[in-house]
């Protein structure tokens, strides 16, 4: 006999857990199914471990900067294994907290692979569970190329499994994962080669960010190879040997990391049996209310391919639970103007439309662009300078801000852009908040944005 629930959640990542807990708060009887560790990509092989590694890299930069601030210190030695051990201990603690929170919410958790039997029933092992409402929040995984020897490389999951730091590494990819890993490894002492299929990075963002970041990666000592693809990998005595589709000589690395994108975790779910539509890349199709084409089945998070960020999955899931179980009929997430940060060195903050997207949407005559390029006070006494680049994209006579971007400076600037503090109203209103201290401007006592030059591009 089926075990009956009000709500079945497939996936114990941040989105699935948040949705299940919110549904339980509304009184729903919830079952959550997860075959791996609770917390999903973000906690185990994503945001959390990445930020820990990023902090380590930032500390290394701090040691380097300290001498120009008058400190005398020996060159620091970094113990990769110790960092990894402490990082994994912290993640295990988070896994436990997730489990405890689900238990406190009265949610039953089953470990195993979920498979759809139809639009109302799910099987895990020999057991069958049924519910009027089912959520697919199974997340995603790194994509791999189909070339000879591809398995000799690793991916971002494998990066977090490294027990020692490789002396040399090739990273294949141009997106945020590729550039973030490149920055961490280079900062901690690895010789990094970044292999780009074309000639740009983070192409999903505004061109200014990609151009500035590419220049910075090269100046930091990363070997950036453009318009090149790996054709074949073979074993080498000291790692992996890569052959390319250009006249570039084959090269041997201690490790090669594939960072060429992500794919949805739908294998084994038997979505076709339930009649659930997926797109050409296998992502589950969902509308703004997170509804799939099958009544009572929903999808949230990376499995939908829509803005693959943890806070987005959490926010969308909570709104879904409010709508389905809380009586809030029109509750849904607005996917426009979602801010994000790329944790490079220095970081990038972005929100809204790129300049190109704004011109395409509103027309060239309606778009006005303000830029600022400067070196912040922190770097004033340093031999090594890291400039800050900022940009506002405005539309119409009122100059409504439709895009804001920041690269460089200190970490808080990108973080404030992510929280949207710099993204309110028109540019004139924004400028009225600005004063002119030596570093970035202040608003109510906080650093937010440098006053933009009134330069129209």
CB atoms within 10 A of CB 174: 26
The reply to whether 8 and 131 lie within a common domain is yes
Grouping H, G, I as helix, E, B as strand and the rest as coil, residue 381 is helix
Token digits for 320?
């879904």
Measured CA to CA, the distance from residue 97 to residue 93 in angstroms comes to 6
- Distance CA(173)–CA(197), nearest Å, equals 7
Residue 157 belongs to a domain with what CATH number?
Answer: 3.50.50.60
Query: Is 241 within the bounds of a domain?
Result: yes
Nearest to 178 by CA among 207, 143, 208, 152: 143
Which DSSP string do the residues of 2-27 spell out, in sequence order? PEEEEEEEE--BHHHHHHHHHHHHTT
Q: Are residues 13 and 135 in the same domain?
A: yes
Same domain as 252, residue 217: yes
High-pLDDT (> 90) share of the chain, %: 86
- Looking at residue 74, its pLDDT comes to 82
Residue 101 C-beta-side C-alpha neighbours within 13 Å: 19
Residue 158 lies inside a defined structural domain of this protein: yes
246 in the same domain as 103: no
Residue 330 inside a domain? The answer is no
Q: Quote the pLDDT of residue 309.
A: 96
Residues 9 and 129 in one domain: yes
pTM of the entire structure?
A: 0.91
> Do residues 285 and 166 share a domain?
no
Are 232 and 147 a contacting pair, CB within 8 Å? yes
Task: List alpha helices for 26-135, DSSP H.
Answer: 40-45, 47-66, 80-104
Same domain, 425 and 298: no
Q: Which range marks the domain in which residue 270 is found?
A: 3-142+263-325
CA dist., res. 409 & res. 447, Å (int): 11
Number of domains in the chain: 3
Query: Can you list the residues of the chain whose pLDDT is less than 70?
Result: 1, 409-457
Same domain assignment for residues 9 and 114: yes
Distance between CA atoms of residues 341 and 61, nearest Å: 19
Whether 256 and 275 share a structural domain: no
Packing angle of the helix pair 80-104, 47-66 (nearest 10 deg): 140
CATH number at residue 363: 3.30.390.30
Return the pLDDT at 75: 84
**Cis, peptide link before residue 50, omega less than 30° from 0:** no
- In this structure, is residue 164 part of a structural domain? yes
Say whether both 378 and 275 belong to one domain.
no
Based on the fold, state whether residues 116 and 22 are members of the same structural domain.
Answer: yes
Domain assignment of residue 311, yes or no: yes
CA distance 383 to 380: 8
- CA distance linking residue 163 with residue 285, whole number of Å: 38
- Among 450, 447, 399, which Cα is nearest to 427's? 399
Q: What secondary structure letter does DSSP report for 230?
A: E
pLDDT at 2: 85
For 244, phi then psi, to 5°, come to: -120, 165
CA 390/CA 287 separation, integer angstroms = 34
Q: Is 454 a member of any domain? A: no
Q: CA 134 to CA 120: how far, in whole Å?
A: 7
Distance, in Å, from the CA atom of 405 to the CA atom of 221, rounded to the nearest integer, reads 25
337 domain residue, yes or no: no
Q: In what order do the strands lie in the sheet with 251-253?
A: 230-236, 239-244, 251-253
Give buried/exposed letters for 354-369 (b at 16+ CB in 10 A, else e): bbeebbeebeeeebbb
What's the pLDDT score for residue 277? 98
Same domain, 193 and 281: no
Give the per-residue pLDDT at 408.
85
Please report whether residue 452 resides in a domain.
no
Q: Can you give the pLDDT at residue 436? A: 40
Query: Pseudo-torsion of CA 414, 419, 422, 426, nearest 10°?
Result: 140
What are the tens digits of pLDDT across the range 342-398? 999 989 999 999 999 999 999 999 999 999 999 989 999 999 888 899 999 999 999
Structural domain ending residue among the three candidates 214, 240, 260:
260
Compute the distance between CA of residue 293 and CA of residue 276 in angstroms, rounded to an integer. 6
Give the model confidence (pLDDT) of 391-421 as tens digits.
999 999 999 999 999 998 665 555 555 444 4
Alpha helix segments (H runs only) across 105-137:
none
pLDDT at residue 422, rounded to an integer: 44
What pLDDT, on a 0 to 100 scale, did the predictor assign at position 1? 67
């Amino acid at each position: 006999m089926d075990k009956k629930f009000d709500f079945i959640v497939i996936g114990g990542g941040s989105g699935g857990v948040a949705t299940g807990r919110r549904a339980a708060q509304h009184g729903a009887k919830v079952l959550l199914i997860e075959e791996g560790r609770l917390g999903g990509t973000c906690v185990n092989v994503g945001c959390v471990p990445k930020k820990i590694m990023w902090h380590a890299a930032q500390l290394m930069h701090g040691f380097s900067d300290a001498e120009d601030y008058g400190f005398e210190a020996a060159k620091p030695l970094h113990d990769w294994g110790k960092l990894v051990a402490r990082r994994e201990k912290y993640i295990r603690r988070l896994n436990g907290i997730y489990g405890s929170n689900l238990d406190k919410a009265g949610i039953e958790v089953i470990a195993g692979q979920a498979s759809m039997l139809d639009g109302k029933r799910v099987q895990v092992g020999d057991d069958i569970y049924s519910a009027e409402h089912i959520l697919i929040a199974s997340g995603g995984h790194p994509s791999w190329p189909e070339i000879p020897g591809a398995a000799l490389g690793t991916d971002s999951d494998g990066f977090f499994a490294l027990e020692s730091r490789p002396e040399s590494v090739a990273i294949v990819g141009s997106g945020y994962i590729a550039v973030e890993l490149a920055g961490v490894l280079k900062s901690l002492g690895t010789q990094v080669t970044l292999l780009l299929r074309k000639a740009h990075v983070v192409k999903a963002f505004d061109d200014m960010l990609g151009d500035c970041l590419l220049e910075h990666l090269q100046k930091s000592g990363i070997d950036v190879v453009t318009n090149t693809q790996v054709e074949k990998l073979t074993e080498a005595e000291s790692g992996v040997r890569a052959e390319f589709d250009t006249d570039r000589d084959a090269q041997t690395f201690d490790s090669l990391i594939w960072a060429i994108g992500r794919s949805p975790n739908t294998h084994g779910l038997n979505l076709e049996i339930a009649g659930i539509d997926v797109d050409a890349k296998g992502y589950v199709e969902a509308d703004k209310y997170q509804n799939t084409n099958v009544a009572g089945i929903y999808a949230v998070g990376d499995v939908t391919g829509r803005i693959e960020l943890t806070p987005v999955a959490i926010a969308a899931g909570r709104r879904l639970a409010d709508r389905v179980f809380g009586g809030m009929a029109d509750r849904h997430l607005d996917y426009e103007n979602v801010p994000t940060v790329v944790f490079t060195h220095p970081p990038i903050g972005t929100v809204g439309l790129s300049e190109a997207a704004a011109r395409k949407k509103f027309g060239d005559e309606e778009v006005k662009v303000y830029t600022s390029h400067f070196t912040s006070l922190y770097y004033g006494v340093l031999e090594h300078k890291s400039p800050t680049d900022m940009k506002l994209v405005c539309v119409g006579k009122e100059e409504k801000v439709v895009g804001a971007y920041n690269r460089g400076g200190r970490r808080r600037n990108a973080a404030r852009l992510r929280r949207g503090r710099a993204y309110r109203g028109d540019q004139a209103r924004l400028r009225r908040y600005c004063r002119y201290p030596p570093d970035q401007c202040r608003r109510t006592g906080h650093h937010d944005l440098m006053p933009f030059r009134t330069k129209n591009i």
